[in-house]
Structure 1
Amino acid sequence: MNSLEGQFLVAMPDMADERFAESVIFLVGHSDDGAMGLVVNHELDMRFADILDELDLGDPDMIIRLPDAIRERAVMRGGPVEKGRGFVLHSPDFSSGNTYEVANNICLTATLEVLKAMAFGPAPKAALFALGCCGWAPGQLEGEIAQNGWLTVPFSRELLFETPVERRYDAALGMLNITRATLSPDAGHA
Structure 2
Amino acid sequence: MQSLRGRLLVASPVLQDPNFTRTVVLVAEHTEEGAMGVVLNRPMELEVAEASPVLSALSTEDEHVFAGGPVQPNGVMVLAEFTPPAAPAVAITPALGFVGAEDDLDTIATAVERARVFAGHAGWGPGQLDAELEDEGWIVADLEPDDPFTEDPESLWSTVLARLGGSFALVARMPDDPSVN
**Fold conserved between structures, TM > 0.5:** yes
Q: Tell me the equivalent position of 1:10.
A: 10
Identify unmatched segments of 5+ residues in structure 1. 184-190
- 1:34-77 per-position Cα deviation (integer Å, ceiling 9, x unaligned): 10000000011201111124xxx39xxxx8xx8xx834102110
Percent of matched pairs sharing the same residue: 26
Residue correspondence of structure 1 range 131-146 to structure 2 within 5 A: 131-146=119-134
- The 1:110–1:76 alpha-carbon spacing in structure 2 relative to 1, beyond 3 Å, is farther
Q: Which amino acid aligns with 1:158?
A: D
- 1:137-177 per-position Cα deviation (integer Å, ceiling 9, x unaligned): 11100000101110000111122223511121111102211
Aligned residue pairs total: 169
Larger mean CA deviation between 174-183 and 82-91 belongs to 174-183
> Displacement of 1:111 after TM fit?
2.4
Give yes or no for contact 2:23–2:157 (8 Å, CA) kept in 1.
yes
Q: Say if 2:75 is the partner of 1:85.
A: yes
Structure 1: 4+ residue segments shifted above 4 A: 112-118
**Whole-Å separation in 1 of the counterparts to 2:12 and 2:119:** 23
Which protein shows a greater Rg?
1
Residue correspondence of structure 1 range 88-107 to structure 2 within 5 A: 88-93=78-83, 99-103=89-93, 105-107=95-97
Q: Tell me the equivalent position of 2:136.
A: 148
- The 1:126–1:71 alpha-carbon spacing in structure 2 relative to 1, beyond 3 Å, is closer
What SS is found at the alignment partner of 2:16? coil
> Displacement of 1:13 after TM fit?
1.5
> Displacement of 1:135 after TM fit?
0.6
- The 1:144–1:79 alpha-carbon spacing in structure 2 relative to 1, beyond 3 Å, is same
Give yes or no for contact 1:36–1:134 (8 Å, CA) kept in 2.
yes
Q: Tell me the equivalent position of 1:44.
A: 44
Structure 1 length normalisation: TM-score? 0.78
RMSD: 2.6
**Whole-Å separation in 2 of the counterparts to 1:89 and 1:115:** 13
Q: Tell me the equivalent position of 1:164.
A: 152
> Displacement of 1:25 after TM fit?
0.2
Larger mean CA deviation between 153-162 and 86-95 belongs to 86-95
Give yes or no for contact 2:161–2:172 (8 Å, CA) kept in 1.
no
Q: Which amino acid aligns with 1:38?
A: V
Give yes or no for contact 2:9–2:140 (8 Å, CA) kept in 1.
yes
Q: Tell me the equivalent position of 2:62.
A: 72
Q: Say if 2:101 is the partner of 1:111.
A: yes
> Displacement of 1:105 after TM fit?
2.6
**Whole-Å separation in 1 of the counterparts to 2:104 and 2:157:** 27
What SS is found at the alignment partner of 2:14? coil
Q: Which amino acid aligns with 1:156?
A: E
Q: Tell me the equivalent position of 1:188.
A: none
**Whole-Å separation in 1 of the counterparts to 2:104 and 2:51:** 13
